[in-house]
Structure 1
């Protein structure tokens, strides 16, 4: 644990939470709770998928009291059966616990056991695959808002294996939004701007500056979140968020990708496939892409999909392979490090995502154990001060196709929690 600077009575502390950096703030001697993040705490847990069952890989948001469900799936590489439980906790719009009693936000049991599991078949790497769908008859949220899903072993929350964020929507407002060229001249070639309009006619909003929060993020990436308060204009039951400095995002670049749906032939971006006691896949050399010229390539906005063309059911017969990435250093600075990120590793920047540099060939290398499928990924540069920025490696263009998630929260002065009252998904390729 490293202590940052002391300023007045406030402390800012950075801690390593299995590698990912989390902020904790305190006033005097009372510490605020650590915000919950998507994380995996046990290195034996791989290939965590979590989405609305309406579409594979969909954003994990469902309507309150609807028939919609979320699916959690993951593998345990220890191979044997383990006794896993899960529970839910309500959070505010900043992902701190709402400190509500379980009975207030959830009906059914306080936790439930994951009973749907399968052993791998015909794979070189043995594993056990687990799945659970909820809400179900045992666990069901009662109120809207942000939730954290916790999965732990033997009914003991001190033996946590993973956490996942999700959203329960109680629609009470209309959300209008569009992606436009930034007003700021210096961002027009590299950025994208999101303007938002909230129609709140059905809500009592006495003070928009304190009652409403609008959260915008790019491609489900938590590090891109922008929280909008106050609105630029208030007029006739509408809140307008379109200030010149508001919701300006780097357009970034299309994600890189590779395809290991089959291990019998080389497919997209595959250089060589080796088979010994396990599979090894060597990807083609990745160049630095920080030129001003934009080149379109199809991607999945950072997602990954577990798929297997060599078998019948990727859940149990998809194999694990060591995938070797190598990045040509190009004109990158000499002081700092390169990390590989994507939804497959929760965009987590830690020692597990760090590439090693080989000065003899002027390249960066990393080896990751990944299940068969299609993966999006990118590289990010981290300077010696710990600041991460993907643009020096990947570049940024206003033409890049991105998704934006717009979430609207409502909390009047007397309320004890943040309601999620509006949601809108934007895609820059679909007007």
Structure 2
């Protein structure tokens, strides 16, 4: 798709200070531009490749393009877990997300494909409400004409993320450092943390003499009853739970070392026997007071471009706005 306008060939790199180790150049780009355009809304991927060998991929990522055709209204409700409550009372704190919208006469109700909800930046772990596969937690209502309401229940708000702040050279003045300068981390299941970056990061300016990369070791000693493997995830890996981020075990002290540029990073620990179904809460806690951003995308089956699922509506809501 879009073969003539899908590649930025001439990248304007900025040189980092000569003594910086771990990187030499910085690039910032804004799209669309004259070389790269997005002719339709939906999910897109980008790749950073070798200009001489495009099969060599240095980095890749996902993003959304939205050309809205409707204006959804989304509200959040604070509630207890619907169904059989969990054994741990704190895990019964949940919210529901209700999204209502009206489609124009030019669209067909039968082609509404559903709603996708992304919490903060966890693109790989969406909440999906599919009209073809509903249950007591994910369902929708239709008035038989052009009005829809999609409901997702039993969504746990979790906790504010952990943070490491590597910017202070007086504290982090060695090449190898610990993520938490003042000690080893433990479970925060009962500890409400301070406001975070909603899964984001703030990197040291590339012009700074301290815009260097460090080897950062994350350490946690989880409770003894935690038997599942523990993984590190955060802004540094786009919130993916991956095999290479499984923590090493040194007699109950779990650790993992990453190479990170100086800056602030949100992160957390998850447990998982199956990385496609991680437990985000057992080491981190679950509080109604947690402030999250929820991104709501509404999909429609379009006959254009040979038929695809385009995004016809988008909304963002912050979880302090309960009704």
Decide whether the 8 Å contact of 1:408 with 1:423 is kept in 2.
Answer: yes
Deviation at 1:346, TM superposition (A): 1.7
Secondary structure, counterpart of 1:352 in structure 2: helix
Is 1:119 paired with 2:15?
yes
Decide whether the 8 Å contact of 1:201 with 1:238 is kept in 2.
Answer: no
Give the 5 Å matches for 1:322-333.
Answer: 322-333=215-226
- Aligned twin of 1:213: 114
- Where structure 1 has 5 or more consecutive residues not aligned to the other structure, the ranges are 1-100, 267-272
- Aligned twin of 2:134: none
Is 1:233 paired with 2:141?
yes
- Aligned twin of 1:419: 310
Deviations 1:26-56 (A, max 9, x none): xxxxxxxxxxxxxxxxxxxxxxxxxxxxxxx
Decide whether the 8 Å contact of 2:162 with 2:193 is kept in 1.
Answer: no
**TM-score, with normalisation over the residues of structure 2?**
0.84
Decide whether the 8 Å contact of 1:211 with 1:412 is kept in 2.
Answer: no
Give the 5 Å matches for 1:310-329.
Answer: 313-314=207-208, 318-329=211-222
Decide whether the 8 Å contact of 2:2 with 2:39 is kept in 1.
Answer: no
- Of the three residues 293, 296, 318, the one matched with 1:403 is 293
Aligned-residue CA RMSD (Å): 2.6
Decide whether the 8 Å contact of 1:205 with 1:412 is kept in 2.
Answer: no
- Aligned twin of 1:71: none
Decide whether the 8 Å contact of 1:307 with 1:318 is kept in 2.
Answer: yes
Q: 1:391–1:159: structure 2 CA closer, same or farther, 3 Å change rule?
A: same
Deviation at 1:229, TM superposition (A): 2.7
Q: 1:214–1:313: structure 2 CA closer, same or farther, 3 Å change rule?
A: same
Q: Tell me how many residue pairs correspond in the alignment.
A: 304
Deviation at 1:422, TM superposition (A): 0.8
**TM-score, with normalisation over the residues of structure 1?**
0.64
Secondary structure, counterpart of 1:344 in structure 2: helix
Inter-partner Cα distance in structure 2 for 1:121 and 1:347: 30
Inter-partner Cα distance in structure 2 for 1:182 and 1:241: 17
Is 1:133 paired with 2:30?
yes
Deviations 1:286-338 (A, max 9, x none): 111223xx524111111111025xxx835x8511111121102223433x321
Secondary structure, counterpart of 1:142 in structure 2: coil
